[in-house]
Amino acid sequence: MLTTGFKLWFGLFLAAVFAAVFAGYTSGATETGPISLGWKGGVGNHVSYTILVFSAGVLALFGLVAVAFRDADAEAQAEVLGLEDAPEAQIEVGNSLWPIFGALGVGSIGVGLVVHPAIFVIGLCIVAAIAVEWTMTNWSEKVSGDHAVNTAARENLMRPIEIPVLGTIGVGVLVLAVSRILLASSVTGAVWVATVVGLVIFGAAILISQRPELPRVAVRGILFAGCVAILVLGIVTAVSGEREFHHKGGDAHHDDTHVEADH
């Protein structure tokens, strides 16, 4: 009987095979090259075809491993180990957002290859960070059978790293967003914007300090809404562009240069 894991990996294997054949025929393949692995004719773009074929082989291997080990079925393990009772299964875990953020990083890499190298580097950093976080989450879920103990183990390991890194990145992004807002405003407008933003932050800090019984969820919601507002304004003003800067004394310096050249 085919297991669920085998069906998943085998479906991905077929998708990779079809993608390799499609990539071959759309990049200049001849005759039956793509379906014969290059034995009868060319395969088109060798790089894309090789990557897709290699991916198909890896996915097929995963499918064979899944069906051989019966998707790590507890009853199958008990039968192999000669036990009367099946070993304790892993505790149930909740949904994870890491795949979504990982997809965002991969998408940024693809966009950066076309648009700008900076976006490509940001995508690589996102993928690297998600790989570390996802690995640590997966490790913590297997520490014990107690969800609270697993969560505490992850926080004890990652919090001393996450808080300084995320704090530094957050401050840098906010400073960059505020600078875009100020540069897009007029000279007088930039002064007013800086004054209003400062007063709002100062007033919110006083309000929160005067109410120590305020729930943490409410405080986080206020901070999150403020950060999102600043980021949205920063993106909008960055797209609209900076104001024109007029340098004083530029014409006089230019005239002096012409005078020296005439002499």
> What is the C-alpha separation between 263 and 255, in angstroms, rounded?
13
Q: Are 136 and 154 in contact (CB under 8 A)?
A: yes
CB-based contacts of 29, cutoff 8 Å, min separation 6? 41, 42, 43, 44, 49
- Could you tell me if residue 97 is inside a domain? no
Instruction: Taking each helix axis as running N to C, give the angle between helix 147-184 and helix 216-240, from 0 to 180 degrees, rounded to the nearest 10.
Output: 40
> What is the C-alpha separation between 121 and 105, in angstroms, rounded?
10
The residue from 39, 65, 89 where one domain ends is: 89
Q: Are 29 and 41 in contact (CB under 8 A)?
A: yes
Q: What pLDDT does 263 receive?
A: 46
- Could you tell me if residue 134 is inside a domain? no
Tokens of 164: 């300084």
Q: Are 4 and 71 in contact (CB under 8 A)?
A: yes
- Could you tell me if residue 200 is inside a domain? yes
- Could you tell me if residue 35 is inside a domain? yes
The structural domain count of the chain equals: 2
Tokens of 202: 């100062």
The rounded average pLDDT for each run of 10 residues, N- to C-terminus, in the chain (263 residues) is: 83 91 86 84 86 90 83 68 64 77 86 81 86 85 76 85 85 84 82 86 84 81 83 81 66 48 46
CB-based contacts of 101, cutoff 8 Å, min separation 6? 126, 130
Q: What pLDDT does 91 receive?
A: 66
Q: What radius of gyration do the chain's Cα atoms show? A: 29
Q: What pLDDT does 17 receive?
A: 92
Question: What's the chain's length in residues?
Answer: 263
- Could you tell me if residue 252 is inside a domain? no
- Could you tell me if residue 19 is inside a domain? yes
Torsion of the alpha carbons at 235, 238, 239 and 244, rounded to the nearest 10: 160
Q: What pLDDT does 14 receive?
A: 92
What residue has token string 């005067």?
210
Q: What pLDDT does 13 receive?
A: 92
- Could you tell me if residue 135 is inside a domain? no
Q: What pLDDT does 249 receive?
A: 57
The residue from 47, 72, 89 where one domain ends is: 89
Domain that holds residue 74: 1-89
The residue from 44, 71, 89 where one domain ends is: 89
Kindly report each contact of residues 102-108 with a partner whose C-beta sits within 8 Å and lies 24 or more positions away, as own/partner. Answer: 102/126, 102/127, 102/130, 102/131, 102/134, 105/129, 105/130
78 phi, psi to nearest 5 deg: -60, -40
Residue 22's closest CA among 40, 39, 35? Answer: 35
Q: What pLDDT does 153 receive?
A: 83
Predicted TM-score (pTM) above 0.85 = no
Residue 110's closest CA among 125, 97, 120? Answer: 120
How many of the other CB atoms lie within 10 Å of CB of 126? Answer: 19
